[in-house]
Every structure is written in structure tokens, then in C-alpha cells.
Amino acid sequence: MRETHTEENSEQQTDLMEVPEETKDLSKEENEEPSEEDSEESSEEDSEEDSDAVLSAELSEEDSEEDSDEEQNQTSTRKKVLQKRAGGRKTWSCRQCGKSLTSSGSLRDHMRIHTGETPFSCRYCGKSFKTKAPLTEHLRIHTGEKPFQCSLCQKSFTHRSSLREHTRIHAGIKAYSCQECGKSFTLRQYYTTHLKTHYKHKPLLCSVCGKGFNSPVQLKAHEPVHSELKPYHCNPCGRSFRQVSCLQRHLKSFIHNKYRPLEKLTEQIRSSGLGFEQFMIQRGFGGFKTTTNPTAANTPSHTPQP
């Protein structure tokens, strides 16, 4: 009996000894299984991170492409604007005289002709100017600066225009011709001095061209020729002129007096509700050529049909 009991005990012990091995195997399997799952999850996370990185890289490339496209469009737009300006497209117009200018700064300087404003003053003599450029040239008179030098004789000048006239001496160019006797001169000062020999009986000389006049009225009427102002306007067509004589000549022209007096023509244009060009075309004057100046008159391109 004891032997049998001991055998049973030994068998139970062996069974107990074997159980831990199984549990070990199970624990190993359990330990191995989570590691595989973790590796799968980590690999999935890595793949997701890689895909996110690829996606962000693609998006950044698309953004950079869009930015480059926008920059190219802006650059092309700037080029087109510059080409238009370089091609003579004028966008700034003076409301006083209708002159067209290429920039707002040029328009601002031009408006001082009408307002008479002279904001730039010389600190030496107090003389005022409408723009900064003539003030800069004027200051050289006081400072003695002569930045423009002739490359042939090394003579220096205060103004660029003086150097330009001086070079005509070396080139033999005589740009100033006397309309009275046909004699030519290289410099304006020689030409002006020569004109005095013809206009001794006309003491009033134009300071710009040297032409002589008998009365201050004639001289005053001549001065607008050298100015940018066009104070004399034609009411029917809006065209402007520097001299009243030119306006009078225009009013007597064929376009205003062929069929009716000027006053009647003006009244009919206003009552028709049409512009001058449309009115004249409707009356059988045909096509008109439009000038770049918005205030300039449209002139008929051919003889009106009967």
C-alpha cells in the first residue's frame, strides 16, 4: 500500500513538474503574440507616417508650383504694363488742357503750369521753379559746377544743352537758320544776335526764339507758341489752340461753315444729343481720324458727299 501510494505521489509530482513547462510555453506564446501585433501596429504607423510625409511633400510641391505660377503671372503682367508704357500708351490726362502723360508724377508736375505753383526755391537767390530738375540746373550757376565736358576739347559746361550746342561746332552743324536772309549758325546766341540786325525797327524780341515785334500785344500773342498751354478752345469740337489767331482760323474752316453758321451748328449739335464726330458723320462727312490727344478735334478724312 505504501508503495502504491508513493508511486501515485511520484506521478502527481511529475505531473506538477510538467505543468510549469506548459505554462512556460504558453507564456512564451503569449509573449510572442503581442510582440508580433506590436510590430504590425508599428509598421502600420510607420507606413502611415511615410504616406503622410509623401502627401505633405506632394502638397508642398503643388503649393510651390502654384506660387511659381503666380510669380510668373505677376512678372508677365508687369512686363505687359512696361511694354504698354514703352509702346507709348498714355493713361494720365490733364483735365485742364487734355494733354496725356505717362505717369502720375509727370501729371503732377504738369498741373503746376496751370496752377502757377513753384514749390522749389533756390536757397541762394530765392528764385522758384515748378519742378526739381530746373532748380538743380540753376544751382550750378551759384556753385560753379560744370559736370558736362566736351570729349574733344575738354571744355566744361553747366548745362547738358550747352554741351549739345557746343558739339555742333566740332561737327559743323548749323541748326539755326535766319528766315530773313538764310544765314545759318551753330549756336543760338549767335543766331539771336544776328536777328537783331533785321529787327532794329522792332525793339521787342522774344526771349526764346529772338523774333522781333512792334508792340507788346504782338509779343504777348506770340509767347504761347513756346508754351504747353492751349487756352483757346473751340466749343463745337473741343479742340484747343495756343494762339487766338489759330482759333479764329479754325472757326472759319470748312468743317464749321460749309452749310451753316457756327452758332447754328453748335446749337444743332447740342440739341441732337450726339457727339461732334457722330453728328458730322450723320450729316455725311464720312469717317474721322482720331488723334492721341483726347481734346483734339476729329478732322474729316475725305471730301463730304453731296
| Strand (E) or helix (H) holding 288 | strand 288-289
For residue 8, give the amino acid letter.
E
Rounded to an integer, what distance in angstroms lies between the CA atom of residue 174 and that of residue 185? 5
Rounded to an integer, what distance in angstroms lies between the CA atom of residue 167 and that of residue 165? 5
Rounded to an integer, what distance in angstroms lies between the CA atom of residue 10 and that of residue 208? 140
Sign of CA dihedral 102, 108, 112, 118: negative
Q: In this model, does residue 27 exceed pLDDT 60?
A: no
User: Is residue 110 within 8 Å of 117, Cβ to Cβ?
Assistant: no
Q: In this model, does residue 138 exceed pLDDT 80?
A: yes
pLDDT tens-place string over residues 208-245: 887 877 777 778 878 777 777 777 778 777 778 877 77
For residue 175, give the amino acid letter.
A
Q: For residue 157, what are the β-bridge partners?
A: 148
Rounded to an integer, what distance in angstroms lies between the CA atom of residue 217 and that of residue 130? 26
* Domain layout of the chain by residue ranges: 91-145, 230-300
Rounded to an integer, what distance in angstroms lies between the CA atom of residue 91 and that of residue 304? 33
C-beta atoms surrounding 24 within 10 Å: 10
Q: For residue 149, what are the β-bridge partners?
A: 156
Q: What architecture is domain 91-145?
A: 2-Layer Sandwich (3.30)
Angle of CA points 47, 52, 58, to nearest 5° = 125
Please state the rounded mean pLDDT for residues 187-193: 82
- Rounded mean pLDDT of the chain? 69
pLDDT tens-place string over residues 55-110: 565 555 655 555 555 556 555 555 444 444 445 565 788 888 888 888 888 888 88
User: Is residue 229 within 8 Å of 113, Cβ to Cβ?
Assistant: yes
Residue 149: strand, helix, or coil: strand
Rounded to an integer, what distance in angstroms lies between the CA atom of residue 288 and that of residue 297? 10
Between 178 and 5, name the one with better pLDDT. Answer: 178
Rounded to an integer, what distance in angstroms lies between the CA atom of residue 174 and that of residue 183? 9
Q: Which residues contact 224 (CB under 8 A, 6 or more apart)?
A: 230, 231, 242, 243
Please state the rounded mean pLDDT for residues 187-204: 76
For residue 265, give the amino acid letter.
L
